[in-house]
Amino acid sequence: MNCYDVEKLISAEEIAGKVRELGRRLSGMYVGKTLVVIPLLKGGAVFASDLIRCMDLDLQVEFIGAASYDEGTESSGEVRLTLDTSLPLNGRHVLLVEDIVDTGLTLAYIQKLIRSRKPASLRTVVLLDKRARRRVDVVVDEVVFSIPDRFVFGYGLDSPGGYHRNLADIVAVKD
């Protein structure tokens, strides 16, 4: 991390506490239902891993991947599907887990794709919401943290080149 001047934006302890709360709330919402949790890769994997361990439910996990960033810090505006689910989603309750909603382009694309598969329900939970950069309207049912328009990484989010996903805290590049 020597090439970045960063500050801690959200600590690992703050994240863990909020993820536990969300897991309890979601567990109550899905009692008696068959749930498929779909992390949006790559960034949503760390958040989803912690979240599902906080959910007292029988659930299945699928994965879906999309990219719109290439190697920089700005969205290209073009969303590419990089991995698709293998389970049929028709009639199932789906929980989409995303690390950050920024422009909204990737999330809107994935939500449209999942809705086309006729799930019984679709809810989206997002760790970080950066509303200042939104380019399209997108439905987000649960936001763990709202953040300012700053470049962040850690806790699953990467810095340019795909590094620093392993940091326990979420850090922001200093202005």
Read off the pLDDT of residues 125-172 as tens digits, 9 standing for 90 and up.
999 999 999 999 999 999 999 999 999 999 999 999 999 999 999 999
pLDDT for 111 equals: 98
pLDDT for 75 equals: 57
pLDDT for 151 equals: 94
In angstroms, the CA 164 to CA 162 distance is 7
Identify which of 103, 152, 155 has the alpha carbon closest to the alpha carbon of residue 131. 103
**Strands 35-41 and 170-173, bridge-based pairing:** unpaired
Identify which of 61, 129, 68, 66 has the alpha carbon closest to the alpha carbon of residue 95. 61
pLDDT band for position 175 (cuts 50, 70, 90): confident
pLDDT for 68 equals: 79
- pLDDT above 70 (res 2): no
CA dihedral 49, 124, 107, 71 (to 10 degrees): -20
Written as six digits, the tokens of 115 are 């809705």
Task: Return left, alpha or beta for 46; rule: phi > 0 is left, psi -120 to 50 is alpha, else beta.
Answer: alpha
- The answer to whether 158 and 170 are in contact (CB under 8 A) is no
Active-site annotation holds for 175? no
User: For the whole model, what pTM was predicted?
Assistant: 0.92
* Mean of pLDDT values over 113-126: 98
pLDDT for 77 equals: 72
pLDDT digits (tens, 9 = 90+) for 69-112: 555 555 567 899 999 999 999 999 999 999 999 999 999 999 99
Q: Which CATH class is domain 6-173?
A: alpha beta
Domain ranges of the chain: 6-173
Q: Tally the C-alpha atoms within 13 A of residue 122's C-alpha that lie toward its C-beta.
A: 20
Query: Of these residues, 99, 102, 129, 158, which one is catalytic?
Result: 102
- pLDDT above 70 (res 113): yes
pLDDT for 70 equals: 56
Q: Is the dihedral of CA 136, 142, 146, 152 positive or negative?
A: negative
* Mean of pLDDT values over 5-10: 95
pLDDT for 74 equals: 59
